[in-house]
Chains A and B, each alone.
Chain A
Amino acid sequence: DGGITQSPKYLFRKEGQNVTLSCEQNLNHDAMYWYRQDPGQGLRLIYYSQIVNDFQKGDIAEGYSVSREKKESFPLTVTSAQKNPTAFYLCASSIRGSGYEQYFGPGTRLTVT
């Protein structure tokens, strides 16, 4: 059963704690993406990676970090430096970067209090 998995679906953290969101894909896609979705707004790109061991900042990378050590995995860490971390986080992948359809995971809803 191919696809993208994100876990957990809901995550609660106290302010000041770092938290890592998991994203795994078994589609053999080269490119992976992290988006943030807030109510009434579109998806905003946090980071993307077109190949293993390489990633680029999106428009709202401040307060986030990523790694891409394996093709299948692209974890996102929300650090304590992120001022408004409560949001719905979506991971996506595409067969290659730049110009291909993106397949989205089910998302993780992070609440920081």
Chain B
Amino acid sequence: GQQVMQIPQYQHVQEGEDFTTYCNSSTTLSNIQWYKQRPGGHPVFLIQLVKSGEVKKQKRLTFQFGEAKKNSSLHITATQTTDVGTYFCAGKWNTGNQFYFGTGTSLTVIP
């Protein structure tokens, strides 16, 4: 079936360091979404990317969609303890109606 691969599975950073998580698909995606899930919480939508090469920013978060629409990344600049949680990407292909979630990257920020 369809799969979105996400790496790394875990990341520990010192507060103030940068963080990046990557998602990859073997075939072209139509859309990709990013979600954040705090420990013990539920996923919260962050952003959706639809265009080839798209870059969107939300304060310290930068989201990119690759030119071939097969990969995406989320980069956090100067992490803070409030960034702790698991970040999921969810990709959708042109065929079908559902989004497929990556396995997530769990971010720990050490104060």
* Chain A interface (Cβ < 8 Å from any Cβ of B): 35, 40-45, 48, 50, 56, 58-59, 90, 92, 97-99, 101-107
Q: Contacts A90-B42, A101-B33, A104-B43; is A41 near B98 (CB within 8 Å)? A: no
B9 near A40 (CB under 8 angstroms)? yes
How many chain B residues have a CB neighbour from A under 8 Å? 24
Q: What is the minimal beta-carbon distance from A22 to any residue of chain B, in angstroms?
A: 15
Chain B residue with Cβ nearest A41 = B103
In the bound complex, residues from chain A placing their C-beta under 8 Å from that of B63 are: none
B45 near A99 (CB under 8 angstroms)? no
* Chain B interface (Cβ < 8 Å from any Cβ of A): 1, 4, 6, 9, 30-31, 33, 41-45, 48, 88, 90, 92, 97-104
CB-contact partner of B43 in A59, A90, A98, under 8 A: A90
Q: What is the minimal beta-carbon distance from A79 to any residue of chain B, in angstroms?
A: 22
Chain A residue with Cβ nearest B44 = A104
In the bound complex, residues from chain B placing their C-beta under 8 Å from that of A103 are: 45
Cα-based distance from A104 to B90 in the complex (angstroms)? 14
Cα-based distance from A56 to B97 in the complex (angstroms)? 10
Q: Contacts A101-B48, A104-B43, A105-B42; is A42 near B88 (CB within 8 Å)? A: yes
A102 near B45 (CB under 8 angstroms)? yes
Chain B residue with Cβ nearest A58 = B98
